[in-house]
Structures are given as structure tokens and as C-alpha cells.
Amino acid sequence: MTPAAPNDYVLGLALLTMGLPLLAFFLVFFLTRRSVGLSCFISLACSAVPLLCAWSLLLGHWRMPVPLLWEVVWMSSGGATATFGFLLDPLSLLMLTIVTSISFLVQVYSLGYMAGDPGKGKYYAFLSLFAWSMISLVVASGLLQLYIFWELVGLSSYLLIGFWHHKFSASEAGKKAFVMTRLGDLGFFLGIIVILLHLGDLSILGLNQNAALKLGPGLLTASALLIFCGVVGKSAQFPLLTWLPDAMEGPTPVSALLHSATMVAAGVYLVSRIFPFYQASPEALAVVLAIGAVTMLLSSTMAMVARDIKQVWAYSTVSQLGFMLMGLGAGGYFAGVFHLTTHAAFKALLFLCSGVFIHHFGTNDFFVMSRSGARGLKAPMICLSVAGAALSGVWPLAGFFSKESVMGVLAGLSNPLWLVVGLLGAAMTAYYTFRLLFVMWRPCESAEDPLHGGGHGEHAAWAYWVMVLPLIALAVFTVFLGWGGRGLEAFLRWHQEGVAEAHHGWLVWASVLVVASGVGLAWLEFGRAGAAQAGFLSHLPALERLFARRWYLDDLYRLLLDYVVYGFFSRLFTINDRRVVDGGIDGFCRGTAGAGWLLSFLQSGLLQFNLFSMVLVIALVGLYFLLV
Amino acid sequence: MDNQFPYLSAVLLTPALGMLVILFLPHRSTRAVRWVSLASAGLCLGLTLRLYQIYDQGAAGLQFVERVPWVESLGIFWHLGVDGISLPLVLLTSIVFFTGVWTMWELSHRVKEFFALMLLMIVGVYGVFLSLDLFFLFVWYDVSLFPMYPLIAIWGSTRKEYGALKLTLYLLAGSALVLPGILYVYFQSGLFTFDLVQIAQAGLAPDVQYLGFFLFLFGFGVLAGLWPFHTWSPVGHVAAPTAVSMIHAGVLMKLGAYGVLRVGMYLCPQGLVEWSPLFALLATAGIVYGALVGLAQTDLKYVIGYSSVSHMGLVSLGLATMTAGGISGSVFQMFAHGIMTALFFSSVGHVYDRTHTKLIPEMGGMAKVMPRASFFFILAALAGIGVPCLASFWAELLVFINGYRAYPVLGVAAVLGLVVSALFMLRVVQKTFYGERNERHGQAPDMTLAMTLPRAMLAATILLFGLAPRLALDLINTATTPLAGMFR
């Protein structure tokens, strides 16, 4: 499978896709950010063109014989070479289309959401920076390029989470996201170094083809696990999962774009990008599976007690990412990627819908929204319900098909435990999603006109509609994407003949049953007339507390940071620096000065004393020579 | 090549000439003093850019060589030349010199003396980077150190006499090791010449290299902030005025690393092979230690001082790897760190001038008060963290790759330092620039456009070399590849 060089037309399209967002960033950030209208226009134009290019590339290469590769040397020194370029194959084209589509829709949506914000120009600059980094990550031809843009995506995430940096919680969340993902990236970075030193080739194609042959099994597993550390950080997997819920401090469109649909999916994308490499190491795949499973369970429990609408979706993002990794870890390449695709559509939709409510009611608490009359906003409410149903895996929405395909892979494993975990996760997902939906559906108690909520509801109607239009586009995808599964599978597996993943007839009924039980429980507690509006967990306060405090993971990190990093190393080293290292030097200097002071007494200036010293010294020297 | 314009002498003598002119100007004509300084800095920058442009990368090696006998009986020559290692550092000096003079434009206290001393210091810096004669190299080295004392003690702040004294004594103690080293090499080589190239070609006996490298490593290493001889650096940086901090942390510390590289490693390659484990250990200790101590600081300038200790540790680690990539990374890190730290100090200098504090707890929300100064500081902080597409990233990448190749355990420890440095930089950014606006400094003015320009130059350099690292690295590789062959 040697790659071909792209023709001029494809090269042009690809370079436009990769270059325009960067251009937009520089233009907007350094020149036009004071004039909001112009900034929005530049940024939108520079995301619309890549959108068209990406779709045209995808459709133009629906049956592509070989991958297309184009690269230039970015940096080269002493045997280490970083290339910059693109590798177009079905996977990267699919992801490119997802990224550009959602990025464009979010930029449109933000016109309304960020209306009136003084920093709107800067906001669009950061969105363009993100689009550039994410696109270049997706099409990266080599692991080093991927890593570089992986870090840049982290930077844009930092800037966008902390966009309202006058709020302490926002700047704190941005810092936390950056440092925690950086912790995972260390592993990624070391993994790259190990591969570079032992394989000497960082190109993705080379890695997928040769790694298994040239690296020994030990090194292969070690490097695969090191790279997986990066995935754990970026895709917020256990144990580095707590930064993602905090990242919801950013503006809601940012949460939709970065922290659900695209950026956090980059981790899953990385595993699928070098999937043959992972497949060569069953141990590494087992770890991927286990981490995905633990994450899915943990974060689902957290979502069951959250009252903040964005928190619920954040936990659910974490758990769905874990679910994708379970699919990949079980060997289901297509299943993982398919779920990533549908998840991008319905999770972006969930966030954008929630954004309309948050914008309108000025609160994140969905119980309060419901009391203020959330039902009144018809279009967002319908979209939210569709997306929520898709998330729970209700037929015939997109989520149903992709979940089925992951479940099918899990059922193929010899150990039934993984399937049980997957079904349990699905049940919890259905429960917490419908818990939220039932609450939001409740009829309004107060007579207040819902169209005048407590938030930015006063904004013009155009702001509302400009936010609703992207919802409708995403809703269309959410409804119909699932039916394209077969076609997508053929597209993604163009080079492997007939390796369709097994389907189990009974499995469909099992998962329908599981989802139905989750929905039913939610209905009993929240939906039916006269329901208590309290989950079964409120009877188990210890458990509820455990879930609400995120299994005490954050407290653990806080302790480690306060007592080990700050309290021990930092403090000890600082004392050492002031007292021992610097104090030692000062002491030495004082000693020198003191010795000079002592010796100064010898210089009494008295002639007889000088003569006496002279005679004494000569006598001692004479004595020495006499004796020796 | 013989009859061409003597670029290197021109670069070296322009600031000297500027200093002489300033000395003859009357005290009161501060305007003229500033313009003369800026003109000589601009001329140097122009000459350097021209040099950079016409340096023949295909031919590589030393170019623009000038060799005139000075004291022939002792083997002392006026011998200048640049290669892929010194040229980027000369460019660094010119950029920091130019922007440094510009940022001190508003100085009003004893203007004439300040600029005269600053120009003298710059002459010394250029001299070290350009000289290929050990005698001159040492003389210029000391010329660049002496002006620090009055510059800090007169125009400084925060325990300035103490800082100035400590810094000067420390660095002179270092050069007290360098001088015996040079004389030792001079006599042991048997050539009775101070010519660096000749001695390197002839080669020294292994035991001479062993002792020689030790003397050069610790002599020059003090100035490079080698752990544990680094404590002069934060104290000195805190005490120094803005432009002096810029030149000091940006350029002068590189003289130390350059000395280890040019004198120690060229003359005593086998000495490096012997001493490299210790060198790498001290370097890694500096990287991690500097970042951890930086976490606990509350003074902005101390924070930058300790980040310099950490970043200069990377330079040392790169040198200690004895590989072409590692040394390239190290030289590039010298360049990148120089620009970055100059940007740091120039933005902190502005904040300090306007608010009269550099204590982090007394600030907060500065991004609203001074958006420009904050932008430059945050950009420098991001460069310091090693964000890709900013110049330092590539340098760190090369140092880490080769550091891990040469010393796996130390390499991993150094990479761990990355997380700590991210934590401590972002913590400072958050506490100083984010959050609610502190009303005490709510009215402090931001940079004027004229004062923004020099900072913008530095920022643009960081971005340019970050996006196109080959601008520097291709040049550096021409010198480091043959050098790495000497360590077999």
C-alpha cells in the first residue's frame, strides 16, 4: 500500500483547508479583532471554505485506491526529522469532514451566543486557531506532526476554557485542563522518542506497516502504552478524567466543539489512526479496553447525580469516549470510528441545545430551567430530545446503530464481562439522559412568559434563530447518520476484503431491554405525574456523595499537589536554595571577610613586631632545613 | 574572501564607537545619547542580518575570518570568524541589544553613564562570540562582566548592592577558573599560540583535556547558571534594571554556555566524554530543581530567574548529550531562550514601571489593565512551557530526544520537568494577569505604541523561528554535525 502523490487539484484543496484557518487567526488576532463584524466575517469565511473543500475531498475520494501523501521537511537535525504535510485516507477524510462541519456550525452558532460579548473578536481568533490545529492534527502524515498539533489543540483549549478569565473558576479550569493533559502528553512524547530511536520512522504509514516487524514485542507494547497515556489525558480517561467537567467553564459553543465532538475525540482518533500498530500488541489493546470500561462506568455514575446540564453532558462525553475506546480495544476498528462519528453529531447537538437554554435562562441548573419553562422553547427542546434519545441509543437514531456495532464487538470477546460492562453503561446512560429530559419536559409551574427568561433572553430574535439553525442541521445528521453505517464501513475498510464485524441477533434485544429499563426508571422517578423528582441515589447518601465528588479523584489530586509538589518538593528545594546553596556561598564570603579581619590584626604597624615576625619565620624555615 | 568588507570587526567596533561618542557628549543631551545608542544598535542589527544572509551554508565552517597579528611573540592574534554556532548567537545579541536600548528609552536617571556602560557590555558580548583567539576571548569575557556591577548597583532595585556584589563576585570566581584553564591549555599544547582553531586541530593530550575541560566547565558553567552555581542569577535578575536583565538573562548567560561549547568542547572533546555524566546530572538537576523552586516564588522576576535556571539546564543537557541533534538543540535553545527571556523581562519591566510592584499577590487582572504587556508576558510564558510553533519548542524537542538517547533516566526526569514548568508558568499567568482587576493598579497605563514595537519585534522573532525552525537549525546543523564527530 504505497501512497500516491496528490494531483494539483487535491493539493490545492487540502492546503486551503489547512491554511485558511491559520490565516484567519493571524488576521483576526493581530489586525481586526476590534471590529467585531469584520472578524466574524473573516473567521466564518475561513471556516466555510475548508468545509466545502473537505466535503468535496470526501465525496471525490469515496472509492480511493491508495492513500494520498504530501509532505515537506519542517525541521531536521541529528537524525530527528519533523515533516509537515497531509495523509489523506478514508479515516482522515472522514474525521476532516466531521471537524470542519462542526467547526463551521459552531462558528455560526457563536454569532448568536456571543452577541454583545466585548471579546468576540478574540473569541473568533481562538476558534480559528483551534480549527487550524485540529485540521492539521487530523491530516498529519507523521506522529511528530500529530503530536505538535495535539499540543496546539491543547493550547487553544486552554485559551478557550479560560476565555472569561476574569472568573477565577474559568482560569483555574483552563490551567487544570492544560496541566492534566500535559501530564498524559509526557507519555505520548516519550513514546514518540522510543519509536524514533528504535524504529527511526515516525510516519503513520510506516508505523502501521513495519512497527510489528521491526520492534520487539516488549518495545512495541511499551511504546503503545506510552502513546496511550496521551490518549488518556486528551480524551479524559481514567485516571485523568476530571479536567473535562471543569472545562465546561468555557463558553458553551466551545464545549460543543472542543470538549465533546472533536478535540477530546482526538485521543480516540489517535488510537484508530495507528490501529494496526495497536493491534500488533494484544496487551496494549487489553489496557485500552480496561481503561475504557473503567472510565465509562465511573463517569456514568457521576452523570447520574449532576444538576448542571453541561456537567451531565460532560460526564456523558467522558463515558462515551470510554465506550469508543472499549470498541477499539476489543478490536473493532470500524465500531469505534462509527461511534465517534455519530457521537460527534449528537453530542455537539446536545451542547448547542443546552447553550440555547443557558443563554436564555441564565442558569446551568436544569431543574431551575424546567421551573422557568424550558418547554416553551420548542425547536431547541425537540432537538435536545432527539439528541438525548440518540445518546441513549433509541432506534432509529444514529446512536442506536453505532452502539450496536460496539456491543457486537464486545459480544465477540471471550470474556462476557466486557459486554456486561457495556450494557450496564448503556443502562446508566439511558437513565441519566432521560432523567434530564423528563425534568425538562415538565410543564411550567409559573405563569411567566418563557420567552423572557433571566439570561440574555432580551437579545434580538436573530440571535435566537442563528443559534437554532445549526441545531436543525445537526439534528438531521443525528437522525439519518445511523443508516449510513454500511456505506461508511465499506468506505473505511476499502483495503480489507469482507471483514465485516459479526452481528448477533439476540444482542439487539438485550440492549433495547437495557435502554428501556434505564428510561423506565427515569420515568418512574422523574417523568410520571406526581413523581418525587428525586433519584434512587438520594436514598443512598454515601453513594451520592461519592459520585458527586467524582469518586474523590479531585481531592486526591489536590492532596498530591498541595502536599507533595508544593508542600514537599517545592518548599524543600526553596529552603535548600535560600539556606544551603545560597547560604553556603554567603557563609563562605563572610568567612573570607572574617579571616581578613582576623589577619588584619597582624598588621599592627609596629616596627618591633614586624622584625620579630621576620626573625621568627626565618628561624622556623632554618630549623626546617636543618632537620630535613 | 580576502578583500571583502570586514563585517565582524564592524559589528564588534560599532558599539565601541557608539560608546566613545557618548562619552564625549555633554551630560544634558540625553536625547543625543539615546539616539546614538539606538543608531549603533540598529547598525549592528543591520550588519548581522546581512551576515546571516550572505553566510554560505553549503561551504559551512568558519567564515568572514579576519586574522591580524597583535602580539606575535606571544601568539596573540586579532582573529575573528563565525560559524553556524556563533552566528545565531550574534543575531540574538543584536536583536536583544536593539530592543533593549529601545525599551530603556524613558530612562531619566544618569542616562549617559547607563548607555555608555551598556554599550561597553555589548562590545564584550560580541567580542566573545566573534573571537577565535583565547586571549581576546577571555578579555572580552571580562569586559562583558564588569559593567554589570555599576549597572545593577546604580540603576537597580530590590537589594541592588547585594545583588550586584553577589553576581559580580560569582562570575569573577568563574573567570578565575577560566584563566588558569586557558593558560594551562596554552602551555600544554606546546604551540605557544592562543589561536583556538590551531590548538583544536593539533589536539591535546587526554589528561590535559581532562583537567582543561573541568576548569572550563565550571568556569564558564557559573555564567550559564549550571546547578548548583546558579543562585547569583535570580538575585541578580531581580536587582537589575529592565534592559540589563534582558541582556543579562538573554545574552550574557549564553556566553557561559557558549564558552563551555567553544572553548571546552572544541579544545577538550575527550574531557567532555569523561565529564559528561556529571555534566548531564547537574543539567537535569537544574531543569527540575529550577522549575520546582519557581513554583514557590512570589516575585515575578524571581519566577523568571528560576525559569532561566531551568531552561539553561536544557542548554547544558543538550551539550552533554554529545550528539549533533542535542548540540543543535542546545544552540537553538540558547537563541530561543534569549529572545523569550528578553520578552519576559521587558514586559515585566513595563508592569513594574507602572505599578511599582513585581509581587504577584499584589497584582491580578492585569490582562484587563494592560492588555499589551499581558499579551507579551503570556506569549513568553507559553514559549517557556514549550508550546509548539514557538521557537523554544523545537529546541526542547531536540534536547529531549537526544537526552533520552544518551541518558534514558535523566532524559525522563527532564521531561517530567515539563509538567512542573507548565504548572508554574500558568500559575503565574493566572495569578498576575487573570482574575478580578486589582483596583490599586486599575488606572496604570498600558504600553504606548512606540514602546510596544520592540516587544513586538521579540514576539515576532519567537513566532517566526517557531513556524520556520529551519531558518536557524539548518545553519546550526552545519557546525554541530562535524563537532559531534569529535566525541567518538
- Whether the CB-CB separation of A219 and A190 falls below 8 Å is answered with no
Chain B residues near residue A166 by CB distance under 8 angstroms: 365, 368, 434-437
What local confidence, expressed as pLDDT, does residue A494 receive?
62
Contacts with A, B 134-153, CB within 8 Å: none
Chain B residues near residue A571 by CB distance under 8 angstroms: 296
Burial class (CB in 10 A: 0-12, 13-18, 19+), A4: middle
Helix orientation angle between B160-189 and B148-155, rounded to the nearest 10 degrees: 180
- Quick check: A565 and B423 CB within 8 A? yes
* Closest Cα in chain A, distance from residue B349 (Å): 23
Looking at the fold, whether A334 and A451 belong to one and the same domain comes out as yes
**For B332-344, how does the pLDDT look when each residue is reduced to its tens digit (9 = 90+)?**
999 999 999 999 9
Q: How many other C-beta atoms can be found within 10 angstroms of the C-beta atom of residue A596?
A: 9
Chain B residues near residue A78 by CB distance under 8 angstroms: 323-328, 398, 402, 477, 480-481, 484
Positions in chain A short of pLDDT 50: 447, 450-455, 457, 497-498
- Its domain, for residue A303, covers 281-548
User: Nearest Cβ partner of A152 from B388, B401, B435?
Assistant: B388
Give the span between the Cα atoms of A9 and A81, in whole angstroms: 28
Chain B residues near residue A79 by CB distance under 8 angstroms: 324-325
Looking at the fold, whether A296 and A400 belong to one and the same domain comes out as yes
- Quick check: B401 and A197 CB within 8 A? yes
Q: Which three cell numbers stand for residue A179?
A: 496541566
The DSSP H or E segment spanning A578 is none
Q: Is residue A50 part of a domain?
A: no
The total domain count for chain A is 2
Q: Which backbone phi and psi does B60 adopt, to 5 degrees? A: 55, -165
What local confidence, expressed as pLDDT, does residue A568 receive?
83
Give the span between the Cα atoms of A105 and A98, in whole angstroms: 11
Give the span between the Cα atoms of A487 and A469, in whole angstroms: 27
What local confidence, expressed as pLDDT, does residue A498 receive?
47
Looking at the fold, whether A575 and A495 belong to one and the same domain comes out as no
> For residue A603, what are the contacts with CB-CB under 8 A and spacing of at least 6?
none
Looking at the fold, whether A323 and A422 belong to one and the same domain comes out as yes
Spatial CA neighbour of B295 closest among A574, A564, A555: A574
**For B392-430, how does the pLDDT look when each residue is reduced to its tens digit (9 = 90+)?**
999 999 999 999 989 999 989 998 888 888 888 888 888
Q: Is residue A426 part of a domain?
A: yes
- Quick check: A166 and B325 CB within 8 A? no
Mutation target for A interface from B169, B232, B233, B295: give the one with most A CBs within 10 A.
B295
Q: Is residue A379 part of a domain?
A: yes
Give the span between the Cα atoms of A600 and A594, in whole angstroms: 10
- Quick check: B430 and A175 CB within 8 A? yes
Chain A residues near residue B477 by CB distance under 8 angstroms: 76-78
- The owner of cell 448477533 is A504
Q: Is residue A406 part of a domain?
A: yes
Spatial CA neighbour of B327 closest among B251, B380, B405: B405
- Whether the CB-CB separation of B109 and B132 falls below 8 Å is answered with no
Looking at the fold, whether A381 and A429 belong to one and the same domain comes out as yes
- Whether the CB-CB separation of B319 and B260 falls below 8 Å is answered with yes
Q: Which backbone phi and psi does A503 adopt, to 5 degrees? A: -115, 140
Looking at the fold, whether A585 and A522 belong to one and the same domain comes out as no
User: Nearest Cβ partner of A190 from B289, B327, B412?
Assistant: B412
Q: Report helix, strand or coil for B69.
A: strand
Q: Which three cell numbers stand for residue A613?
A: 615576625
Q: Where are the beta strands (DSSP E) in A262-380?
A: none
- Whether the CB-CB separation of A505 and A512 falls below 8 Å is answered with no
Q: Is residue A467 part of a domain?
A: yes
- Whether the CB-CB separation of B92 and B254 falls below 8 Å is answered with yes
Q: Which three cell numbers stand for residue B385?
A: 512551557
In a 13 Å sphere around the CA of A602, the CA atoms on its Cβ side amount to 10
Give the span between the Cα atoms of B482 and B168, in whole angstroms: 36
Q: Which backbone phi and psi does A605 adopt, to 5 degrees? A: 80, 5
> For residue A399, what are the contacts with CB-CB under 8 A and spacing of at least 6?
A342, A343, A346, A389, A390, A391, A392, A393, A478, A482
Residues of chain B with pLDDT > 90, as a percent, come to 38
Q: Is residue A607 part of a domain?
A: yes
Looking at the fold, whether A300 and A447 belong to one and the same domain comes out as yes
Q: Is residue A530 part of a domain?
A: yes
Please confirm whether the linkage preceding B228 is cis (ω < 30° from 0).
yes
- Whether the CB-CB separation of B328 and B476 falls below 8 Å is answered with yes
User: Nearest Cβ partner of B382 from A155, A168, A193?
Assistant: A155
Handedness of CA B306, B307, B308, B314 (dihedral sign): positive
More confident residue, A421 or B357: A421
Residue B1 has pLDDT above 50, yes or no: no
Give the span between the Cα atoms of A463 and A73, in whole angstroms: 45
- Quick check: A566 and B296 CB within 8 A? yes
ipTM of the complex: 0.91
Chain B residues near residue A182 by CB distance under 8 angstroms: 418-419, 422
Q: What angle do CA A33, A36, A37 make, to 5 degrees?
A: 130
SS (H, E, C) A102-146: HHHHHHHHHHHHCCCCCCHHHHHHHHHHHHHHHHHHHCCCEHHHH
CA distances from A135 to A11, A16, A87, A100 (A): 15, 11, 12, 8
Looking at the fold, whether A435 and A573 belong to one and the same domain comes out as no
- Whether the CB-CB separation of A251 and A236 falls below 8 Å is answered with no
Looking at the fold, whether A500 and A379 belong to one and the same domain comes out as yes
Looking at the fold, whether A600 and A533 belong to one and the same domain comes out as no
In a 13 Å sphere around the CA of A280, the CA atoms on its Cβ side amount to 21
Closest residue in B to A75 (Cα) is B470
- Whether the CB-CB separation of A469 and A554 falls below 8 Å is answered with no
Q: Is residue A368 part of a domain?
A: yes
Q: Which three cell numbers stand for residue B140?
A: 572580552
* Closest Cα in chain A, distance from residue B9 (Å): 31
Q: Where are the alpha helices (DSSP H) in A30-89?
A: 36-60
Looking at the fold, whether A515 and A574 belong to one and the same domain comes out as no
Burial class (CB in 10 A: 0-12, 13-18, 19+), A460: exposed
* Closest Cα in chain A, distance from residue B237 (Å): 15
- Whether the CB-CB separation of A466 and A112 falls below 8 Å is answered with yes
Mutation target for B interface from A25, A33, A77: give the one with most B CBs within 10 A.
A77
> For residue A414, what are the contacts with CB-CB under 8 A and spacing of at least 6?
none
Boundary of a domain, candidates A514, A548, A582: A548
Give the span between the Cα atoms of A596 and B418, in whole angstroms: 45
Looking at the fold, whether A592 and A537 belong to one and the same domain comes out as no
Give the span between the Cα atoms of B387 and B405, in whole angstroms: 22
Q: Quote the DSSP letter at residue A200.
A: -
